[in-house]
């Protein structure tokens, strides 16, 4: 296949193909890129290259959308069956495990990672910094910010 033809097709149709694919999927650029790669591997140039590309992009975008929905369905089902983060307390006067779990999931990811790594993983702030990237003071600051948010959400006095 001539590289000139491929370059011309990319120049003329790539942007429109991305817009076309966006109707069906969340990552249309990936679908279009795969279509052009598939086109480049074809032994024989299709009779109508633009039409061929639109057909391939449409089919791939619909497949990507179906795959994403299927993955979301399975991930949602797995999340509902996930083992709780906390065992039920023996002492009924303690914190509610469901409330703590909900409060943890609402924390910003960077704070939650540090809180869990420090409290349940027993890691020092230097170890957390090494594993997540960043510095020990940043890990320390995120830990305290996360604990403050948890106290606020759980209405725990300071």
pLDDT in tens, 71-90: 988 888 777 776 666 665 56
pLDDT beyond 90 at 31:
yes
Distance CA 118, CA 143 (A): 8
pLDDT beyond 90 at 21:
yes
Distance CA 158, CA 152 (A): 9
Burial of 16 (0-12, 13-18, 19+ CB in 10 A): middle
Say what percent of the chain tops pLDDT 90. 53
Distance CA 152, CA 146 (A): 10
Full-model pTM? 0.50
């Amino acid at each position: 296949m001539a590289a000139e033809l491929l370059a011309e097709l990319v120049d003329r149709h790539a942007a429109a193909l991305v817009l076309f694919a966006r109707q069906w999927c969340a990552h249309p650029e990936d679908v279009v890129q795969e279509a052009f790669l598939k086109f480049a591997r074809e032994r024989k140039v299709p009779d109508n290259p633009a039409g061929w590309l639109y057909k391939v992009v449409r089919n791939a975008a619909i497949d990507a959308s179906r795959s994403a929905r299927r993955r979301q369905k399975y991930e949602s089902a797995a999340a509902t069956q996930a083992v709780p983060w906390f065992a039920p307390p023996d002492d009924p006067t303690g914190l509610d495990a469901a409330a703590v779990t909900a409060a943890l999931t609402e924390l910003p990811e960077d704070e939650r990672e540090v809180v869990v790594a420090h409290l349940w993983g027993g890691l020092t702030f230097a170890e957390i910094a090494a594993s997540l990237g960043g510095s020990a003071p940043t890990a320390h600051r995120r830990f305290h910010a996360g604990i403050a948010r948890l106290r606020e959400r759980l209405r725990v006095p300071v």
